[in-house]
Amino acid sequence: MGSATSKAARTLPKTAAAKPPPSWAGARTPALEDLPTRHTQRPLASETKDDNIMKDAQDPQLHANLARLGPVRVDHHMQSVRTSAQIRRRFESRAQSEADAASSHAPRNRLLAASLSDLLDQRKYATSRKELEKFAEQYGIEVQKLESVARYVSTPSVDEKTAIRMVEDNGEESITMVVSLRLSCLV
């Protein structure tokens, strides 16, 4: 480390070093008349089998791999992975999604994750079917759909009385609470 004054300064030579010129320097390109008119190339295909073709055909590693693979088995009853109906449904779904996004009002039975969490929390404390229907109407979801989702999804309930606050030496605060899953079953 240290300052720039303690470092040795880089010195460059005062004159360019005398190097011999490269072998190609000053060479002339041949004139068009001096160029060969036809390039000799190996033929890409041949009507008869020459020694190179026979040598290539006798590759023992290729024959061993082909024997290991065995004959080709073709399933003639196989269906294509993506049928036109599946592709059409995918395009229709995307078109519907774009139409929903462009709409000024939220589509029925569709919620953001945070809204769904709030609705499931409110559902836990609903005391009557009428109150549950009111919550569902506020969020724009059918009660049957809410019940269907609630069968598989729940949100954690936090008991505020169990909150324990701890302040560490460095001033960092942590809060620990007891979480329970409270399920409600309205019939």
pLDDT of the residue at 27:
67
Q: Judge whether 131 lies within some domain.
A: yes
Q: Judge whether 53 lies within some domain.
A: no
Q: Judge whether 166 lies within some domain.
A: no
CA distances in angstroms from 180 to 43, 126, 159, listed in the order given: 80, 17, 8
Q: Judge whether 73 lies within some domain.
A: no
Which residue reads 């059918």 in tokens?
142
Q: Would you say the pTM of this structure is higher than 0.95?
A: no
**Number of domains making up the chain:** 1
Domain that holds residue 143: 84-161
What is the phi/psi pair of residue 69, to 5°? -70, -35
pLDDT of the residue at 59:
85
pLDDT per residue as tens, the chain (187 positions): 556 666 667 777 777 667 777 777 766 666 666 666 666 666 677 788 888 888 878 888 988 998 999 998 888 887 767 678 888 999 999 998 888 778 777 778 888 888 888 899 889 888 899 999 999 999 889 999 999 998 888 887 777 788 888 898 998 998 887 776 655 555 5
Q: Judge whether 42 lies within some domain.
A: no
Q: Judge whether 108 lies within some domain.
A: yes
Q: Using CB atoms within 10 A of its CB, is residue 146 exposed (0-12), middle (13-18) or buried (19+)?
A: buried
Q: Judge whether 22 lies within some domain.
A: no
Q: Judge whether 136 lies within some domain.
A: yes
CA distances in angstroms from 20 to 12, 14, 17, 26, listed in the order given: 20, 19, 10, 13
